[in-house]
Amino acid sequence: MGPPKRFPDRDEIVAVREEAAALPPDTESADKRRLAGRVMARRGHGKLTFLDLVDRSGRIQLLCDESRVGAVDVDLGDVVGVVGSPASSRRGEPSLAVDELIVLAKNRSPFPDTFHGVTDTETRYRKRHLDLLMNEEARELFLLRTRTVSAIRRYLDDEGFVEVETPILQPRYGGAFAHPFITRSNELDADLYLRIATELYLKRLIVGGLERVYEIGKDFRNESVSYKQAPEFTMLEWYEAYADYRDTMARVEEMIEWVARSVLGTTRVMFKGHELDLKAPWRRVRFVDALEELELWTRDAGELRAWLEERGVDTSADKDWPQLVDHAFGHFVEPGLVEPTIVHDYPTELSPFARLIDDDSTLTERFEYFAGGMELGNAYTEINDADEQQARFEAQSEHVEGERGDPDYVEALSYGMPPTAGLGLGIDRLVMLLSGRETIRDVILFPTLRTQ
């Protein structure tokens, strides 16, 4: 007969450990508890065997007296279930005095060093199961990520937003400046694109009357990889009718502060050697002012290219003014935005879906928000006029890598969309910030890697 197929009614180690910690040394409770987890250490002392048992909640010592439990035929890494009593060892260590030990799964592979854990970065990414098994810090990180996503959902649900799902496979890609992954539908005999953003579908739901919607899901961009970029990543996007970008500035500040307090119990985090306070309100600066302060604001492409090259920036890949000004901002401004900052009022050429500022048709009601020298997300007051959106698509087509048109989206707008503000937030980057991790691959359970 094989090992048991279930081990029901188990307690969490953290709760049993608390019970045991309240006992005087060398005593045992009369209560019985059931624990299950993985054996991560084994020590022997005559007929008494000490095992360290680990589950998701924590670690506890098992006291296995052979006269009570029988022979302890357990190897490092085995998954076991035990029944016994909370106890305190002679040295006062919180423990479980075991009456019954059942092997639920045998470890058949060599186990890494249990003291140092898995330290090789490449192994941690490729064999995340070992990373989680061996490194309590890794388990805590991904539980923090889960709590972060749950907190975001609670905030938005409480604010009257409706969570929805939109297609990952799309006949057109849009909603961002990015290169897509392309796949093929045999049934439809057509190319499809893995979405680069959820934006255009979510705004159709605003047209349909849902008023406040959000989606947390995977986006895919066939582009370079860096400490903050991955080809497959998790985004939050929300759209709120009857709001503008100023309302959204206040809402995202409030949400991030609330999420930090919910997950960490504080708004202060350490990131790249800097202590940051995520408490609202955040600093605000206009896009133009940020570049003017560095003497890098001009609408003349030749002049801007010359300024950048004088400062040692390679502009050979920048084909027009929108690419040059975006390069200037990303190279010189973004790294300096360490304290939480909102940069607003972006040039029209960089903002195909944002409404114009009332007194300046060259700028839009768009903002991006930053912390730790890293962009967290993007937001704007949405264009809600079909003719204006079509004209913006046509203007974008004149720029290198401009936003592709989407006639289906324009047709949806023709039915009338309420004044609306929308926002995107990189979940992975927010988790980096809250956890102090400096590379995005640390906070993705299974990051995309080169094939070995």
Summarised one tens digit per residue, pLDDT across range 159-179 is 999 999 999 999 988 877 789
Q: How far apart are CA 270 and CA 14, in angstroms?
A: 27
CA atoms of 171 and 183, how far apart (whole Å): 10
Using CA atoms, how far residue 249 sits from 67, 120, 227, 256, 423, in Å, is: 67, 40, 26, 11, 9
Fold of 13-105: OB fold (Dihydrolipoamide Acetyltransferase, E2P) (2.40.50)
pLDDT at res. 279: 98
- Looking at residue 114, its pLDDT comes to 64
Given this model, what pLDDT does residue 169 score?
Answer: 97
Check residue 116 and give its pLDDT.
64
Kindly give the residue spans of alpha helices, DSSP state H, lying in 311-374. Answer: 321-328
Q: Are both 13-105 and 133-282+339-443 of the same fold?
A: no
Decide: residue 5, CB within 10 A, 0-12 exposed, 13-18 middle, 19+ buried. Answer: exposed
Domain spans in the chain, listed from the N-terminal domain onward: 13-105, 133-282+339-443
Q: Is 18 helix (H, G, I), strand (E, B) or coil?
A: helix
Instruction: Give me the pLDDT at residue 400, please.
Output: 54
What was the pLDDT predicted at 348? 93
- 434-445 pLDDT, tens digit each: 999 999 999 999
pLDDT < 50 regions, the chain: none
The fold adopted by the segment(s) 133-282+339-443 is: BirA Bifunctional Protein; domain 2 (3.30.930)
Q: Which pLDDT score is estimated for 276?
A: 98
